[in-house]
Amino acid sequence: MNAQPPPPTSLHQVIPEQVSFDRRELGAILGLYGRMVAAAEWRDYGISCLREVAVFSVFRRTAEHPLYRIEKRPRLRNRQGMYSVVGMDGQILRRGHDLPTVLRVLERKLIRPVD
């Protein structure tokens, strides 16, 4: 006899196999990425879709540690917000509920004073 787990009901939540960015989120992230590549700040990226988090990592060079990680953690949706930007040292630079607002912390890095 093969014992099957019970089907999900309203009492049991279905846990997704992986978290990923949707088209709108990727559009916002890749728009910023394109501007930073054009400014010669960033050169490469990587995307990881895991069980509890989706991560867009940004690199200056391919063989380095990421400069920044843009993370999506749906479990934090009702708390601090599911989007965050994490620096190279692991410090959370910005966290919130709205991805474009969270990404603004990286937009400031694009603006440089004119000498």
Q: Is the dihedral of CA 14, 18, 22, 25 positive or negative?
A: positive
Is the separation of the CB atoms in 79 and 71 below 8 Å? no
Going by the DSSP 8-state scheme, the letter that residue 70 receives in this structure is: E
- As a whole number, mean pLDDT of residues 31-56 equals 90
Q: Would you state the structure tokens that stand for residue 11, as one six-digit string? A: 């009492």
pLDDT in the model for residue 12? 54
pLDDT band at 25 (very low <50, low <70, confident <90, very high): very high
Residue type, 67: L
Distance CA 70, CA 56 (A): 5
Q: CA–CA distance from 28 to each of 4, 15, 61, 63 (Å)?
A: 42, 26, 22, 25
Distance CA 100, CA 103 (A): 5
Distance CA 66, CA 48 (A): 12
Average pLDDT, the chain: 82
Residue 56 has pLDDT above 90, yes or no: yes
Q: Would you state the structure tokens that stand for residue 17, as one six-digit string? A: 């196999």
